[in-house]
Structure 1
């Protein structure tokens, strides 16, 4: 009986993949945060991602994000806050969760405001014109009947002396001031001493947060497809867009041409002047 190597000894050894040695997404974000000297509270304040969600992401728990779209947005925002390149981290998340997800409806965090149409005001001008026409018709009818009665008396009593008609002055009408034509869009007449921001949701829906320069909350909720919101402030308007790719943005009457991605979370600030100034 010969002693030799077993077949198992002839199998090639498998070196571990370099990707297996890389830390998890949560561990990588946590290490970058600690290296940057930041606390979880400071990361939450700078990214507007709630503290429990930051803790959960650092533990590789993405169930509290509200879906893959928001999870990718939170990961990208936190990575930027801790000075970490967000693209490889997001790519790692996509690889761990079956690839980049298709756009999905955003989670309804808040009920959007219901835009109620204003009640139509009564048209007093038309009512006054109708009343004047009725009065003129009544006076004319009374005078016409009075003339018929006088004709009957003239036949019975004889011809009445002719009276010279009193000259009447032609009625003068005051020229009406022409009304200015309405502008094509209300956003085209924005005041120059304020900053005006208009948001319109073209498709899907998006969570919006807007604040004034002194931190006053102007709006915090979800806009549905086809809905719009306009915000004004004396100095600055700060925005957080939850699903920026679904939004059309106008600043001080000019359209912002930035191409935002679907599901991307954007933090923006605009001041008076052109969008580039903001």
Structure 2
């Protein structure tokens, strides 16, 4: 087992994750995860995947993947030679180029003939249309001895009749409705124990949880019965929203807290613990 594999395994055990749990979180096959812990990179599909899997493993257990890759770069195979070999393509011979160009020409020759035939038909139709006799359009007029008589419709007499007093609608007296002020939302800090910070939320009609991820993190949300409602990764630059209006309590767990923000009804919730992985418990007093 390498020093890198030992450090990753120690962080996994500290999180209470088994290899199966880590496979479910990262979606990486557990034989690759075991290979990383043992330093056996020969089972990996390629050098590029070795670095990607190590970084994803580290972030899932609360470690900095980029820092680990830089620290233990001497233990990790580099993907440079592999990528270069994949990008090298063989140069076709002159004979193959010549045969290919001839075959391509024979394939498109019928299409060229059809296109020329269609263009010829369009030109003929256009020529016939330009030389066709046009009907002289004349405006119909009433003529007598060369004089044109214009008839105008008689003007309608429009005398607006003002409405009588009986016909005027009675103005209904509108009663002024005084709306009672709605209670304002209040988020109150309760306590911090270890990596868990608890808040009370009052005066809110809805409970919308929003996570704005600046850095990639693993998100887990549970209800008042400790039932898992959300268990997924949130990538950097994404915003995740969850409607918790039907619940009385939620526990929000972020695998990587630094740089990420949690809001309840667009109100910022502060993390009080200094740990990388933290829990936020929001108790809704409806």
Q: What TM-score bracket applies, with the shorter chain setting the length?
A: 0.3 to 0.5
State TM-score, norm by structure 1. Answer: 0.39
Q: Which has the higher strand share?
A: 2
State TM-score, norm by structure 2. Answer: 0.38
